[in-house]
């Protein structure tokens, strides 16, 4: 059941050193490419970083005083989600409507990736606190590209604990319906 998969996903911050087969990463990326995007622009790139470059990425973008994110060095793979900000549709739409379409696109695609990874028995963690400039410089991203987030990926090294979530009635509002 889909809801079981969704509930199974947890942020994993401790990983085994076992390498992640490339086919698994490709399957996760395939799932990500089926995410909807504003105007179907599909303007993301998923940069799969491993080995020494991954260590450099962590050192340069996740070092500093935010020590908790250094856990990323223990993940065999880091996937950098990059999006093209040069698109006219996104620029005009963003200005007129005040909505950051590229961030929504990246978020949906990233979660598709993460849920597919969960189904494959992989652990992941969203990383949203990092030095964006350092990532762009290290990976040589072209001008006008943004990096909304990164994902750590690998086999979990520990059992996940129960997660706390708000109750449905705390987060939902039904309006205009007959039922009370």
Give the residues lining the site for ligand FMN (CB under 6 A).
10-11, 13, 68-69, 125-129, 149, 163
Q: Which is nearer to ligand FMN, 98 or 128 (CB)?
A: 128
Token pair in block for residue 130: 């990092």
Closest approach, Cβ 12 to ligand FMN, in A, equals 8
Look at residues 75, 70, 50 and name the one whose alpha carbon lies nearest to residue 60. 70
- Strand order in 44-49's β-sheet? 44-49, 77-84, 145-154, 123-127
C-beta nearest to ligand FMN: residue = 128
Look at residues 112, 132, 127, 106 and name the one whose alpha carbon lies nearest to residue 45. 106
Q: Which is nearer to ligand FMN, 114 or 141 (CB)?
A: 114
**Between vectors from CA 103 to CA 82 and to CA 10, what angle results, nearest 5°?**
85
Closest approach, Cβ 68 to ligand FMN, in A, equals 6
Closest approach, Cβ 87 to ligand FMN, in A, equals 22
Residues forming a β-bridge with 81: 46, 149
Q: Which is nearer to ligand FMN, 31 or 127 (CB)?
A: 127
Q: Which is nearer to ligand FMN, 34 or 129 (CB)?
A: 129
Which secondary structure element, helix H or strand E, spans residue 150, and what is its range? Answer: strand 145-154
Closest approach, Cβ 80 to ligand FMN, in A, equals 13
Q: Which is nearer to ligand FMN, 10 or 60 (CB)?
A: 10
Q: How many angstroms separate the CA atoms of 19 and 153, rounded?
A: 10
Q: What is the DSSP letter of 114?
A: H
């Amino acid at each position: 059941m889909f809801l079981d998969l969704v509930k199974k996903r947890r942020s994993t911050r401790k990983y085994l050193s076992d390498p992640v087969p490339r086919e698994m990463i490709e399957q996760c990326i395939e799932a990500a490419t089926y995410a909807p995007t504003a105007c179907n622009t599909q303007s993301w790139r998923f940069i799969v970083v491993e080995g020494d470059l991954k260590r450099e990425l962590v050192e340069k973008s996740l070092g500093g005083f935010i020590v908790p994110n250094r856990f990323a060095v223990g993940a065999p793979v880091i996937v950098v989600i990059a999006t093209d900000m040069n698109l006219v549709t996104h620029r005009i739409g963003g200005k007129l409507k005040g909505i950051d379409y590229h961030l929504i696109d990246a978020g949906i695609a990233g979660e598709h990736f993460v849920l597919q990874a969960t189904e494959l028995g992989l652990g992941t963690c969203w990383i949203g606190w990092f030095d964006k400039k350092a990532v762009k410089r290290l990976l040589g991203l072209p001008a006008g590209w943004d990096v909304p987030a990164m994902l750590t990926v690998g086999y979990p090294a520990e059992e996940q604990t129960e997660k706390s979530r708000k109750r449905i009635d705390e987060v939902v509002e039904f309006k205009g319906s007959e039922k009370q």
